[in-house]
Amino acid sequence: MFDEKQKAIQLLDSGLLNEKNLSRDFVTLSKYYKYIGLSKERASDLLLDWLKNKKCDIEFSLVISKLKKAVNNVYTKNYKFIHDIKVDIYDDEINYIQSLKSKGEKKVALSLIYLSKIYGNTFYCYHLTLHKLTKISVRHIKRIKKKLIAIGLIDIVDGNRVKKSIKKDGVSVKIYSYPNTYKINIVGKGDVIFSCGDIDDINRIFDRIVK
């Protein structure tokens, strides 16, 4: 779910083009090309070649704009490339998770700790990402998140920033927000109890390490 090397290889092998996630796919492939040592110019050329045999209903000038922006951001801002994931879970982290009251709290806490080991201790995360990992509804995740903040497991470093607001008759009817940026307040120490790689469902490891 998080290994961008696998995602890039799948994109290159697939004949499909996901127009809804075009910018994200451009970023993933740009990161991959940068990772294997290609120049910014070569990455742009390869992305154009990748597009040639794909059907796309988006206006060509907009596609090229998205492509150039993605490549430029990856190379100038030095985006991190996630690959060969190995996450170690320590005994103090498991003990902390065990102390939580509900299974939902434990699953969300474990998911956030897992993500922090992939992206770094200060990381942004969509509620939808936590939903995909835990299979818990977004509404319930938001309630659990407030509890985890209250007991000190996490802090929100940056949150509730509006990305786009759709208005009708001067009134906001739909608001899109940037993902919250989280910081985990417990640092893994002691013995490593469990190690895992890239996963798409926290339940695959939950029952093995949490009672």
| pLDDT per position as a tens digit, 21-30 | 899 999 999 9
- Between 18-27, 40-49, 115-124, the lowest mean confidence (pLDDT) is in 18-27
Residue 110 has pLDDT above 70, yes or no: yes
Which residues, 6+ apart, have CB-to-CB distance to 52 below 8 Å? Answer: none
* pLDDT above 70: residue 96: yes
Asked if pLDDT for residue 172 goes beyond 80, the answer is no
Mean pLDDT score, 47-64: 87
Range of the domain at 163: 87-209
- Give residue 160's pLDDT: 72
Note whether 110 and 194 are same-domain residues: yes
Residue 82, domain member (yes or no): no
Q: What is the DSSP string of 157-198?
A: EE---EEEEEEETTEEEEEEEPPEEEEE-----S-EEEEE--
In a domain, 168, yes or no: yes
**Same domain flag for 144 and 173:** yes
Given 76, 98, 131, the domain boundary residue is 76
Evaluate whether residue 174 is within a structural domain.
Answer: yes
Q: What percent of the chain has pLDDT over 90?
A: 73
Tally of structural domains, the chain = 2
Do residues 109 and 28 both lie within one domain?
no
CA pair distance 73, 78, nearest whole angstrom: 7
Type of residue found at 95: N
Residues 38 and 140 in one domain: no
Kindly indicate the confidence band of residue 173, based on its pLDDT and cuts at 50, 70 and 90.
low
Same domain, 18 and 105: no
pLDDT at site 169:
76
Looking up residue 173, the CATH number of its domain turns out to be 1.10.10
| 192 belongs to a structural domain | yes
Quick one: average pLDDT of 157-166? 78
Considering the chain, what percentage of its residues have pLDDT values greater than 70? 98
pTM, full prediction:
0.87
